[in-house]
Structures are given as C-alpha cells and as structure tokens.
A and B are shown apart, each in its own frame.
Chain A
Amino acid sequence: MKILFFANAKELTGVPQIELEVETPLDVKSLWEVLIDKFPEIERVKTICRIARNCEYVGDDTLFSNEDEVAIIPPVSGG
C-alpha cells in the first residue's frame, strides 16, 4: 500500500510517502504499529491525526489492503 504523509506528519517521517507490502487485511491499530516501528517520531502526532483511504476519511474499524492509498492527515488549516 502507498502511505502519504502531510504537514507535520511529513516532517516527522522525513518523507512524503512510502510503499508498504504488509500482511492484509491490516487494521488501524496495526497500521500505526507499522508506522511507529519505521518512524518512531510519528507517535507524537498519532492522537491528532486522521486517516484517509483512497481520498476518504475512515474510522478505527477500517481494514486496509495493499492496493489502498492511505494518507495520514494532521489537523487541517486551509482557507
């Protein structure tokens, strides 16, 4: 799966995106575990970020597949 990082999540990982091949389905809790394992600093924003899958916000009960584009969305500030 492709995982995109924006704003301060991008600064904490140091990259705008990564490609992951993981055992699926992957739930939200496991996704964060994978991310924190790769980028420990991202745990700092875990509680304030939302997750989008294929351009739509998703809830904590979501299961991801390797075909998904997943985005880590920190609090927005457009306008």
Chain B
Amino acid sequence: MIVEIKLTDKPIQKSPPTTDGTIGATVEFCGIVRGEENGEKIVAIVYEAYAEMAKKMMRSIVERLGEKYHCHSVQIIHRIGTIPVGETAIYIRAQSMHRAESFGLVTEFLDQLKKDVPIWKSRIIKNLNFKNNECPIHSS
C-alpha cells in the first residue's frame, strides 16, 4: 500500500489519482471549515499540530487499517494554520479494487484521527480583523 501523509500550511492541492487498471474505487473525503462554530458565525479556524507525532500517528493508523481494508494507496493531507470558512482542512483519498475497502479505511481513519492524533482547532476567528477577534476553542 502506498501511503502519503502530509501537513501543510497552504491550501490543499490534490494530485491526480492513480489509474493503473487494478483500481476499481477511489474514495475522496474533504473536511471543510463550516461558517458556524458552537452556534456562532465564524470566518476561519486556526489549526495547530504536534507535527512530528501527528504525521507518525496518521501513518501508523493508516498502515494498521490497511491490514483490514486492502487499499492500493492512501493519501492524507491535513492543513494547519488559519483556514478560512469553505476551505478544506483535511483531504483523504483511498484507492482500492472495490469500494468497501476505501470507504471502510476512510471512515475508520477519521474516527481514530479525531480521537488520538495531536491536531487541534486552537482558535476560531469571528471576523476579518483576525488579531482582535480570535477566540480559543477548548473542551475544558
């Protein structure tokens, strides 16, 4: 299984999917910043990551899930920094012979990412005057 994991502070650029004749399914997921957080209108979210651990964990999760869901390739790109509403925060693409493997891997990966991978929505931004309108997002 080909695994590509990336964190970037730039808008996510997708690469063309592989089409080698063995792949029957390509499943893509885009997690997009919504214009509302906790019932309030927002314009952007700031993500931060413990980059080294996050990349290592994402790879480990994908490789473990690859034993259950036999995919040909998995690409994951998580954006960090300030992400405006409507832009993609995470992009996942899985390719496999049949759809069940790709759907399964993408779904379970997201569940584990949200539980364990050290990436945070650290601030919400409520209007375009960023510096004076940042608010922390905390679960505590």
Q: How far is the CB of A68 from chain B (nearest CB, A)?
A: 13
- The answer to whether A78 and B140 touch across the interface, beta carbons within 8 angstroms, is no
Tell me if B49 is interfacial: C-beta within 8 Å of chain A.
Answer: yes
Q: Which single residue of chain B is at the shortest CB-CB distance from A12?
A: B140
CA distance A75 to B114 in the complex (A): 9
Q: How far is the CB of A21 from chain B (nearest CB, A)?
A: 23
Q: Which residues of B contact A75 (CB under 8 A)?
A: 139-140
- The answer to whether A76 and B120 touch across the interface, beta carbons within 8 angstroms, is yes
Which residue from B47, B52, B136, B137 sits with its C-beta under 8 Å from A78? B47
Q: Which single residue of chain B is at the shortest CB-CB distance from A78?
A: B119
CA distance A75 to B139 in the complex (A): 7
Interface of chain A: mostly helix, strand, loop or mixed: mixed
CA distance A4 to B115 in the complex (A): 20
Given contacts A6-B120, A77-B119, A78-B114, contact A52 B140 (CB under 8 A): no
Tell me if B117 is interfacial: C-beta within 8 Å of chain A.
Answer: yes
- The answer to whether B52 and A7 touch across the interface, beta carbons within 8 angstroms, is no
Residues of chain B at the chain A interface (Cβ within 8 Å): 31, 47-50, 52-54, 56-57, 78, 89-90, 110, 113-122, 136-140
Residues of chain A at the chain B interface (Cβ within 8 Å): 4, 6-8, 11, 44-45, 48, 52, 55-57, 71, 73-79
